[in-house]
Amino acid sequence: MTETLKPDLCAIGGGSGGLSVAAAAAAFGVPVVLIERGKMGGDCLNTGCVPSKALLASAKRAAVMRSGAPFGVTASKIDVDFGKVHDHVQRVIAAIAPTDSAERFAGLGVRVIKGTAKFKDRRTVAVGDIEIRARRFVIATGSTPALPPIPGIDEGPYLTNETVFDLTEQPDRLIIIGAGPIGLEMAQAFRRLGSDVTVLEAAAPLAKDDPECAAIVLDQLEREGVVIRSGVKVIHVKHASSRVSVTYEGASDEETVEGRYLLVATGRKPTTDGLDLAAAGIKYDRAGIAVNKRLKTANRRVYAIGDCAAGQLQFTHAANYHAGLVIRNALFRLPVKVNDDVIPWVTFTEPELAQTGLTEAQARTRGIKMRILRWSYHDNDRAQTERETHGHIKVITTAKGKILGVSIVGAQAGELIAMWTLAIAQGLNIRSLTGIVLPYPTLSEIGKRAAIDYFAPSLTSPWLRRIIAWLRIFG
Ligand SMILES: Cc1cc2nc3c(=O)[nH]c(=O)nc-3n(C[C@H](O)[C@H](O)[C@H](O)COP(=O)(O)OP(=O)(O)OC[C@H]3O[C@@H](n4cnc5c(N)ncnc54)[C@H](O)[C@@H]3O)c2cc1C
């Protein structure tokens, strides 16, 4: 017999976006249903952010142990037990899983349904024998790895983010297609754990980031032994027993690289299969579900958020941010809109690469008359004590000093970017950063030093020169 539910809100997908919607709605006492067909926690917990950062943490331990000599500390021998690395990654997932579990959400008052959601009409979703006629629906079905159309690629086994964290044996040679954040994080992790790694990229690596900052990450990876071939066209993949070979067109000749495993990290495909969006009058294409600035689809009862929504940044915190906007729109009728300029992102290689607000290139495209302020990690005392002097901060302001964007490459860039995200969201002027008292010695001082540089060109008056000199010495 069919059961019919009539909640105020129904979230489809129990990943970062769907869970945030359900938790917030439940906190406001709103009847809410959450539908998940796979594992609660979605990509981020099970096959994305969490396992990738846990693997990088193992790799970092290995790198730290190898690089102790300048500090006067050396380890006689470093062993990597890949089976135990795998166990560490899985234990981290298991430690976080209860927070995202169906049991926890049921305890919050959410009705959790396991199964695949499918629209029946413009206001009904069915999961098996259950029909949900909600006042509002939020689609948060995420994305899956996109497979490039390379001849032979699917004629044998290949890894993606959905399978790479299941490996229990160390690949002697790993080939990665795709030099975006995921490809390069995995490249550094596996290299540091002892694999030979070759990365093939058709365009420029880390193409969405500031090229000057990205170059510092690429330089470090190459120094660690990762082979990066960019601007190459992969011609075909051949699978043999326990081996794979990839042939690509380099600058002049055809070259072939051989490995034990192939990891495909060439972007993401929005998940829309099985939803029957057409039955609900929802428009979508290969880029995802079409939404307006309020994340509403062509059906006014239905929102789409996170990785499945077309044209949106694909990060966990972006999906959380979308969830907050939808709650305000759907429950409180507040006309809030998505603003990508306040969504930071981080590539968790070492050095880390963090971006918030506009990149220099974006500011140029918008025709903004800008100032670019910089400070190097080399000139920071804490960076010197840690021997982490590789990197810099780059701050983009208007001519009058309004902070528009910040790129940081260097140790803990992902932590340092938080302050600047707040500054941009609050529309702060660079002046407010010059007066701030920061603990010494910390990496955060690089930001204050860059801010002080804003005043450097106006040093015609001796009085101003004295102030800047004072700030540089005591600031
Ligand atoms: C290797 C890797 C590393 C990453 N690292 C980071 C990082 O460090 N920081 C960061 O911010 N982001 C990172 N990301 C991106 C982040 O994981 C995603 O942006 C985020 O998970 C998107 O959340 P979502 O809610 O849109 O989708 P998901 O978390 O993927 O959740 C979607 C859920 O919907 C379910 N579903 C799909 N269709 C249906 C249906 N018809 N019915 C019911 N359920 C359905 C799926 O089973 C899934 O559980 C990483 C991604 C990868 C792949």
The pLDDT of residue 177 is above 60: yes
Under the banding of pLDDT at 50, 70 and 90, the label for residue 471 is low
Q: Ligand 1: which residue has its CA nearest to atom 51?
A: 48
Is the Cβ atom of 304 under 6 angstroms away from ligand 1?
no
Mutational pocket test of ligand 1: of 19, 35, 39, 49, the residue with most ligand atoms within 8 Å of the beta carbon:
49
Whose Cα sits closest to atom 19 in ligand 1?
Answer: 315
CA of 144 to the centre of ligand 1 (A): 8
Tell me, in angstroms, the distance from the centre of ligand 1 to residue 244's CA.
29
Ligand 1, atom 5: closest residue by C-alpha: 49
Predicted TM-score of the model (pTM) = 0.95
Q: How far is the CA of 8 from the centre of ligand 1 (A)?
A: 24
Q: How many angstroms is it from 42 CA to the middle of ligand 1?
A: 5
Q: With 80 as the cut, is the pLDDT of residue 386 above it? A: yes
The rounded mean pLDDT for the chain is 96
Judge if the beta carbon of residue 38 lies within 6 A of ligand 1.
yes
Question: pLDDT confidence of 252, banded at 50, 70, 90?
Answer: confident
Q: Over pLDDT 90: what percentage of the chain?
A: 93
| Three-state SS letters, the chain | CCEEECCCEEEECCCHHHHHHHHHHHHCCCCEEEEECCCCCHHHHHCCHHHHHHHHHHHHHHHHHHCCHHHCCCCCCCCCCHHHHHHHHHHHHHHHHHHHCHHHHHHHCCEEEECCCEEEECCEEEECCEEECCCEEEECCCEEECCCCCCCCCCCCCECCCCHHHCCCCCCEEEEECCCHHHHHHHHHHHHCCCEEEEEECCCCCCCCCHHHHHHHHHHHHHCCCEEEECCEEEEEEEECCEEEEEEECCCCEEEEEECEEEECCCEEECCCCCCHHHHCCCEECCEECCCCCCECCCCCEEECHHHECCCCCCHHHHHHHHHHHHHHHHHCCCCCCCHHHCCEEECCCCEEEEEECCHHHHHHCCCCEEEEEEEHHHCHHHHHHCCCCCEEEEEEECCCEEEEEEEEECCHHHHHHHHHHHHHCCCECHHHHCCCCCCCCCCHHHHHHHHHHHHHHCCCHHHHHHHHHHHHHC
pLDDT value at 473 more than 70: no
Each residue's pLDDT tens digit, 84-138 = 999 999 999 999 999 999 999 999 999 999 999 999 999 999 999 999 999 999 9
pLDDT grade, residue 456 (50/70/90)?
confident
**What pLDDT is attached to residue 423?**
97
Residue 41 CB less than 6 A away from ligand 1: no
Reported as a single tens digit per residue, the pLDDT across 319-346 is 999 999 999 999 999 999 999 999 999 9
pLDDT for residue 466: 64
